Each structure stands twice: as C-alpha cells, then as structure tokens.
Amino acid sequence: MKHTQFVGDPIERSATSARVIATLQELMRDWEMEELIGSQTRVVAELGFESIDLIQMVAAFEQAFRPYRISLVDMLVADGRYVDDLSVDEIVDAIQGKIQQSMEN
C-alpha cells in the first residue's frame, strides 16, 4: 500500500484527520466503493469494514503515523471488550492522544 506524505504538521488535528481519511480510502480502493468519508463516518456501519478489516486498518494507521512509533490496537477495545464501530472522529481522537503521549515521553 502506498502512503502519501503528511501535509503540514501531523500533530494538527486537521492533518491527522486528512491522513486518517486518506488511509481509509486507500484501504477501500479495491472494494469499488465511492463512499464520501467525513468526520462522522462510521467504518463498520457505513463503510462495511469487518473484523479483519479493522485489524488491517489499525496496522495501516500505525504505518501511516510510523514516525511517532505508536500502537493503536487498544483503539479497538473499550471497557474490556471489542468496540462495535468507530467514527473517523473517534479514530482521529485516539491517534491524536497517542501522538501527544509519544511527544511527552
């Protein structure tokens, strides 16, 4: 999978959001879907992601945000159980939080 470079400072929410959306679009490229992706788009309910797709999605985000050396697998778990769905905003929030933590350490 080809990853484009960050536009602007990736710590900025808008740059993180753009990278998340671009990564989702790259993952969906072979699905022949033309879904518009916005901040409230849900990856399971609206984009049709299944369990294995979520794992691939997390790996793609970790690759896309590789300079920060962050792990995002815990994004798929809440209160000790797997999450049913995630919105783009929830993904961006999780990534932003991990980036912030990595920069503080």
pLDDT at 1 over 50: no
Residue 70 within any structural domain of the chain: yes
Confidence of residue 3 (pLDDT cuts 50, 70, 90): very low
Work out the mean pLDDT of the chain and round it to a whole number. Answer: 87
Element (H, E) at 60: helix 51-64
The CATH number covering residue 68 comes to 1.10.1200.10
The count of other CB atoms within 10 Å of the CB of residue 43 is 21
The tally of domains found in the chain comes to: 1
Residue 6 within any structural domain of the chain: no
Q: In which domain, by residue range, is 33 found?
A: 13-98
Residue 1 within any structural domain of the chain: no
Dihedral angle sign, alpha carbons of residues 70, 73, 79, 85: positive
Q: What is the DSSP letter of 42?
A: B
Mean pLDDT throughout 4-14?
Answer: 60
Instruction: Give the tens place of pLDDT for each residue, 49-71.
Output: 999 999 999 999 999 999 888 99
Residue 39 within any structural domain of the chain: yes
Separation between Cα atoms, residue 91 and residue 1, nearest integer Å: 20
Q: What is the DSSP letter of 31?
A: G
Residue 77 within any structural domain of the chain: yes
pLDDT at 96 over 50: yes
Residue 23 within any structural domain of the chain: yes
